[in-house]
Amino acid sequence: MKNYCSKGSSKIIVFVPYPAQGHVTPMLKLATAFLKLDQGLRPVFVTPRFIHDQIISRQRFTNDHQTNSIEFVPIPDGIDESVPRDFFSLEAAMEKVMPAHLERLVRDQGGGVVVCMMVDLLASWAIEVANRCGVRVAGFWPAMLATYRLIVAIPDMVRSGLISDTGSPQHLGPVRSLPNQPMLSTEELPWLIGTVAARKARFKFWTRTLARSRTLKLVLANSIPDEEPLNDEKPNQELPVVLPIGPLCKNSTTKNPSFWEEDNSCLDWLDKQKPNSVIYISFGSWVSPIGESKVRTLAMALESLGHFFIWVLGNSWTAGLPVGFEERISNRGKIVSWAPQMEVLKHRAVGFYLTHCGWNSTMEAIQSQKRLLCYPIAGDQFVNCNYIVKVWRIGVRINGVGLKDVEEGLRKIVEDKEMGMRLKKMYERTMGDEACNRATSNLRSIGDFLGKQTLLGSSFVNETSF
């Protein structure tokens, strides 16, 4: 393997994201945040080859000097091109193929020294690689802290009989992993996706992730300040300290490294629309959108509603659209396979965002101060939705995508005269100067520590911190 970590005596941080758009994006922003601190630390960003090629391809068109200072390194995942890269094939690759390649990369340092590995907790396999190499490792949680606490609470949920030891709900009922957290139904737990076998496999993935993360001393969280108590007055010695360093969407100017080609024509289309007249619809990149039947239902609702809209709908899902739909709505609607989301959300013509409530999308909506129509589908989206609707009150949850559902949701949003003010306050609390300075200070303290260490080979002389 080519020696990527060999530039003089540089101090290297290796970043290992989970191989999905919603995880690569915030970790890349974390890497650029360390670069902005100018502490002499060099980021090396490690991904499977299929993601590496997409990042490099998009990077050619962004001309972003910060990402150009990051060294992007591919490693094989061993997945045959005829096999879809879904949750299960990627999990097998992360457990069986990728560790050996990452270990070889970390050990083959040349003149550089790997002073730390930043590992997405969902890529927990890399924690074991760091431990074998004698390299300090910090966890990275790219989502909301409330979801992290929910995963941490798995052993308690099993002991209390709320779920079985394979993750199946034992009875319908509410779940609350923190005193101030809104209730979550047992049917909305993050691993309950797909068939019974798939749910059990996902639960096993989470329990393994939890077990490995317990070996860490520090987790950096891409979460908002004061979302909830971060560390108890009497810290649990079995759990890592959690340090908030988000939201990274505000603290970095780096453009999202989209895995798909963005259709910028939607921005020209928006320029022709009236302020706050357009619904932006996107269900993200993770799992699947909403299924062909619901695609058809939503399309019929949009056609009947008469509202202007932009709908992000991958080419593989357009088969669910009614015959002739795109022609009939062409004067007030636009469908794109992928959109430059931040530019769309910030556009004056966009007034509402129909979303799956992914964490990155939620933070981008707050940054753009757009009202949310919430339709969570899976994973952490239900937790995020609960905060959006019940705690922050900056959106409305809809229970379906039919005409009555969307129409009623829009009516509630429009009639809530205080929602705009709550969005402004939420923006200031999460992305104002004080919040950003706090997050930057936390990052700087870590960077200072890593940049000033005395090094012997690949390990620290001072072992008193993480």
pLDDT given at position 246: 81
Distance CA 304, CA 404 (A): 10
pLDDT given at position 255: 60
| Matching fold, domains 11-255+432-452 and 265-416 | yes
pLDDT in tens, the chain (466 residues): 444 454 455 889 999 999 999 999 999 999 999 898 888 888 999 999 999 998 888 765 555 555 668 999 999 999 998 999 999 999 999 999 999 999 999 998 655 789 999 999 999 999 999 999 999 999 999 999 989 989 999 999 999 898 999 999 998 877 765 566 788 888 899 999 989 999 999 999 999 999 999 999 999 999 875 555 444 444 556 789 998 888 886 655 556 567 778 999 999 999 999 999 999 999 987 666 788 899 999 999 999 999 999 999 988 888 889 999 999 999 999 999 999 999 999 999 999 999 999 999 999 999 999 999 999 999 999 999 999 999 999 999 999 999 999 999 999 999 999 999 999 999 998 888 888 888 888 888 888 777 665 433 333 333 435 6
pLDDT given at position 230: 45
pLDDT given at position 452: 63
Torsion of CA 132, 202, 185, 139, to 10 degrees: 20
Which residues pair with residue 308 across a beta bridge?
Answer: 278
Any idea where the domains of the chain sit in the sequence?
A: 11-255+432-452, 265-416
Distance CA 360, CA 384 (A): 10
pLDDT given at position 461: 32
pLDDT given at position 184: 86
pLDDT given at position 26: 94
> pTM of the predicted model, to two decimals?
0.89
- The domain made up of 11-255+432-452 has a fold known as Rossmann fold (3.40.50)
Pairing of strands 184-185, 174-175: antiparallel
- The domain made up of 265-416 has a fold known as Rossmann fold (3.40.50)
